[in-house]
Amino acid sequence: MTGSGTRQAMFAGTEAAPPHLVLDAERVSRYLSERLEGFRGLVQVLKFKGGQSNPTYLLSDGAKAYVLRRRPPGVLLGSAHAIDREYRVIVSLEKAGFPVPRSHFYCDDESVIGSAFYLADFVDGRVFWDAELPDESPQTRTTLYDEMNRLFARLHRFDYVAAGLADFGKIGGFAARNLARWSKVYQQSKLIDIPDMNWLIDALHARLPRNEQTSLLHGDFGLYNIIVHPTKPEILAVLDWEMSTLGDPFIDLAHHLRPWWEVPDSGQSATSLLGHDLASLGIPNMDAYISRYCDRMGLAVFPDRTFYLAFAQFRYAAMIQGILKRVEMGSNASRTVLHRQERVRAAHTGIRLTVIGSSHDDCTRRSAASHSALRVLAIQGELFFHHLGGKM
């Protein structure tokens, strides 16, 4: 793991598991000894610090390292934490030569560790939690961002039928179903009433795209879910396929673009490229990055761009609300939780400024506000207005 950013220090590396996520090392060691040829017995069990959903552990027998990824124990929300689907998709991708960790087996016997899990090889490399890639050279940043773009487009062009994933999701109507799903997640997770979130759900429903493509999606594709070679700007594996499904690639793309429009906050709850001199860093601006993706996808433009970026902001707000709910329930996978309820308010309000057509000057005036949550929502509205051109 590498980097000097605050998020890097918080999320990179491993730690001792908190009490509610401690594994029975002796039981796990016995189970693995029966299923892994040459396994010598566990000598180390640590939990990866990063991630808020499915607890993930680094296991070692002294000679080889493995990764165990499990569903959290306890009461869970709906269809969340779908590691059975995650295991299925990485097996298919591995067979097709897409860079993912080599998997070994899936276990749905909850008597082993208290929840379902799967085992994969540990891939040694670097995970970057800060989008600006501190400490890296401009050339390295340029190469890594282009490699990420290339792999992302490759995923969306992936022949999921040939890979045996034709039944991995429904064809068509994905945006409507996804909006309904995240609306439900939000409703199940909300801790306080935010009327504007209900307004936004209705506004997005009214602007659903008429035409959709279908691709294999990742669901949360970003640098923080990519393992980079220890010394070279080469991507070794893409992680965290929990939300993978068949659906509209532009929903995947819009969420992937978050670092370009995500407003930084003092709590470091999200990584952001705003405020950085991207040209000097060697990182493409959002329009250039989208253009490169479209070239690789054979597209002239990013269709319905306004809707998809607005939807991505709503989806992100719903994800944050789910994390906050897990914290209240005590099932969060990471002991470091940076999101606050104000982040949900800010995440949706910026979009409302865009949808209802607030003026660029009005948004600029609002950006002078001192309250942190108001500043986030105001700048967010200005950014969307700048990139999207006003109306939906």
Whether residues 344 and 261 fall in one domain: yes
User: Which pLDDT score is estimated for 127?
Assistant: 94
102 lies in which domain range? Answer: 6-121
Residue 206: inside a domain, yes or no?
A: yes
Residues 147 and 271 in one domain: yes
191 shares its domain with 316: yes
3-state secondary structure of 182: helix
CB 271 within 8 A of CB 7: yes
What are the structure tokens assigned to 162, written together?
């040939």
130 domain-assigned:
no
pLDDT of residue 239: 96
Instruction: Assess whether 69 and 151 both reside in one domain.
Output: no
Domain endpoint, select from 61, 93, 121: 121
CA torsion through residues 73, 331, 125, 148, sign: positive
Three-state DSSP state, 58: strand
Domain end, chosen from 74, 96, 121, is at 121
CB-side neighbour CA atoms (13 Å) of 70:
27
DSSP state of 225: G
Residue with tokens 């070239």: 295
Residue with tokens 């590498």: 2
214 and 361 co-located in one domain:
yes
The CA distance from 344 to 314, in Å, is 9
Question: Exposed, middle or buried by CB within 10 Å (0-12, 13-18, 19+), for 14?
Answer: middle
Q: Does residue 66 fall inside a structural domain?
A: yes
Q: What is the phi/psi pair of residue 173, to 5°?
A: 70, 20
The total domain count for the chain is: 2
Least Cα distance to 128 among 271, 265, 26 occurs for: 271
The predicted structure's pLDDT at residue 387: 43
CATH number at residue 37: 3.30.200.20
One domain, residues 238 and 190:
yes
Q: Where are the alpha helices (DSSP H) in 117-261?
A: 138-156, 174-189, 195-205, 249-256, 258-261
Residues 223 and 117 in one domain: no
So what's the pLDDT on residue 359?
A: 33
- The answer on 222 and 167 residing in a single domain is yes
The number of C-alpha atoms within 13 Å of 334 and in the hemisphere containing its C-beta is 18
Give the list of residues 6+ apart from residue 372 with CB closer than 8 angstroms, or none. Answer: 265, 266, 342
Q: Report d(CA 126, CA 170) in Å as an integer.
A: 35
What amino acid is encoded at 142 in this protein?
T
Please, which residues have CB within 8 angstroms of residue 96's CB and are 6 or more apart in sequence?
158, 159, 162, 163
Residues 161 and 52 in one domain: no
pLDDT of res. 5: 54
Answer whether residue 224 is part of any domain. yes
- pLDDT tens track of the chain, all 392 residues? 444 457 777 777 889 998 989 999 999 999 999 999 999 999 999 999 876 578 999 999 999 999 999 998 876 555 667 899 999 999 999 999 999 999 999 999 999 999 999 999 999 999 999 999 999 999 999 999 999 999 999 999 999 999 999 999 999 999 999 899 888 888 888 777 777 777 778 888 888 998 999 999 999 999 999 999 999 999 999 999 999 999 999 999 999 999 998 777 655 556 889 889 999 999 999 999 999 999 999 999 999 998 898 888 888 878 777 777 656 665 444 444 444 445 544 554 444 434 433 333 333 333 322 223 323 333 343 334 334 443 33
Query: Is residue 132 assigned to a domain?
Result: no
Q: What's the token pair of residue 168?
A: 């991995």
The enclosing domain of 331 has a CATH number of: 3.90.1200.10
Residues 206 and 81 in one domain: no
| Of the residues 121, 147, 178, the one at which a domain ends | 121
Residues 143 and 87 in one domain: no
The pTM is what?
A: 0.81
Six-digit token string for 78: 């709906």
Phi-psi region of 268 (alpha: psi -120 to 50; beta: other; left: phi over 0): left
Q: What does the block give as tokens for 256?
A: 């992937």
Q: Packing angle between helix 341-356 and helix 305-329, nearest 10 degrees?
A: 160
Establish if 329 belongs to a structural domain: yes
Query: What confidence score (pLDDT) does residue 192 get?
Result: 75
Asked if the structure places residue 334 within a domain, the reply is: yes
Question: Same domain, yes or no, for 178 and 49?
Answer: no
Residue 128 lies inside a defined structural domain of this protein: no
